[in-house]
Amino acid sequence: MVTLQNKRIVLGVTGGIAAYKSADLARRLREAGAEVRVIMTRGATEFITPLTMQAVSGHPVHQHLLDTAAEAGMGHIELARWADAVLVAPASANFLARCAHGRAEDLLSAVCLATAAPLAIAPAMNRQMWAGAATQANLDTLRARGARIFGPAEGAQACGEVGPGRMLEPSELVALTASLFASGALDGLAVLVTAGPTWEAIDPVRGISNKSSGKMGYAVAAAAAEAGARVVLVSGPTALPDPERVATIRVTSAQEMFDAVHAHIAQVEVFIGVAAVADYRPTDAAKEKIKKSAERLTLELVRNPDILASVAALAPAPFTVGFAAETENLEANARAKLKEKRLDLIAANRVGAGDGGFDTDENALLVIDRDGNKTELPPQSKTRLARALIQLISEKYHAAKQRRQTQGRAQDPRPAHRH
């Protein structure tokens, strides 16, 4: 089944007769789970009304670049940032020319220029305009810059001619849009992710936990599934629904998380420990609710097992990725943790007042590999950040595998990875 669950799609509609199909397209994108915001060019409004597009998308249509009222709430930069993908359907020859030349005099072109999200274009035009040398050169330019061109199909055209230039059908465009998110970077691999906090019982109703929401770990699990991996998510207590296409195992304590991880670890090539695991637990959880009596109460705590370090120490070990949430000396602490726990990769984020991290929707990461190379992933939504991290993990995993194959295992001081 095609899914666009939780994806944010900016649907650009330009002036062409196929614009009448854009209403159906918006409806189908939403049915597939996407949130849709529509941008219409002036030409598009000659073919279909903004009211129709507003009704099917569920949001006011964005039309003007320099209209303060229309830009209030969500201006072109916010729209560009908001999008997980920009789909222009139909895309006129004129739009292709504007986009290829980086023009920004209308809202849609400006958003296409300003976005870091994938851009997909579904051209629709008369077959001669399609075949025109200028149009083809513009398409080449756009393709070379990474834009995906969906279609066009061949067939009878509104102008009475027959040939290439028909916009693809909405159902095909929805499927192709969904494929933008399936990177295939982890095709054929199995990945285990831990997420959320743990809960260490003091008595049947009280416990020690932390502020982790699980959002980052869930986003990492979803991004790994999107990238083609078979994913097992071992999650501490969170309020989040199970991510799609992910086998989710719910646990409560660090010890349960440890057990669940080790029950599955032999089957995976990549382990990503995102959970904020409690370092200590009460030595003995009281069987009954502790009564308020004495003035002082001492809780004795014992160390929990370090799940991440225990996975990295396996022989063979999977490619092991840790997280480091730090309030100070981010890089130095992350480097130390990478070494101590013998990780392949560590992703560090600053937590604490105003720094994102725990229980927020945005985050930024500093990622350091075993050779000390660092990559900064700038502040962005956890969904996007997780995709960027998965891309990086895939590159490092494949590079490590390649290196081991060429150098031979004898030179590698670490236990062999499971590949």
Query: What residue numbers does the annotated binding site for CTP cover?
Result: 279, 289, 305-308, 323, 337, 341
**Considering beta carbons, is residue 91 or 348 the nearer one to ligand C5P?**
348
Note whether 13 binds ligand C5P by CB under 6 A.
Answer: no
Shortest separation between residue 196's beta carbon and ligand C5P, angstroms: 10
Note whether 344 binds ligand C5P by CB under 6 A.
Answer: no
Q: What is the Cβ-side half-sphere exposure of residue 131, based on CA atoms within 13 angstroms?
A: 7
Size of the site for ligand C5P (CB under 6 A): 15
Residue closest to 101 by CA, chosen among 68, 138, 140: 138
Site string for ligand C5P, 272-311 (x = CB under 6 A): -xxx-x-x------------------------x-xxx---
**Considering beta carbons, is residue 124 or 234 the nearer one to ligand C5P?**
234
Candidates 150-158, 269-277, 349-357, 358-366; binding stretch for ligand C5P (CB under 6 A) = 269-277
Residue 213: which residues within 8 A CB-CB, separation 6 or more? Answer: 196, 238, 239, 240, 358, 359
Query: Residue 80 is inside which H or E element, if any?
Result: helix 76-82
Site string for ligand C5P, 229-268 (x = CB under 6 A): -------------------------x--------------
Identified catalytic residue from 66, 134, 137, 159: 159
Note whether 212 binds ligand C5P by CB under 6 A.
Answer: no
Note whether 323 binds ligand C5P by CB under 6 A.
Answer: yes
Residue closest to 6 by CA, chosen among 190, 226, 203, 153: 226
Inter-residue contact 165 to 90 (CB < 8 Å): no
- The 3 state secondary structure assigned to 249-313 is EECCCHHHHHHHHHHHHHHCCEEEECCECCCEEECCCCCCCCCCCCCCCCCCEEECCCHHHHHHC
* 112 flagged as catalytic: no
The string of DSSP letters for 39-63 reads EE-HHHHHHS-HHHHHHHHTSPPB-
Which residues sit in the known binding site?
A: 279, 289, 305-308, 323, 337, 341
Shortest separation between residue 44's beta carbon and ligand C5P, angstroms: 48
- Which strands make up the sheet holding 35-40, listed edge to edge? 35-40, 8-13, 85-91, 119-123, 148-149
Shortest separation between residue 213's beta carbon and ligand C5P, angstroms: 14
Question: Where along the sequence are the contacts to ligand C5P (CB under 6 A)?
Answer: 194, 254, 273-275, 277, 279, 304, 306-308, 322-324, 337
Kindly list the catalytic residues.
159
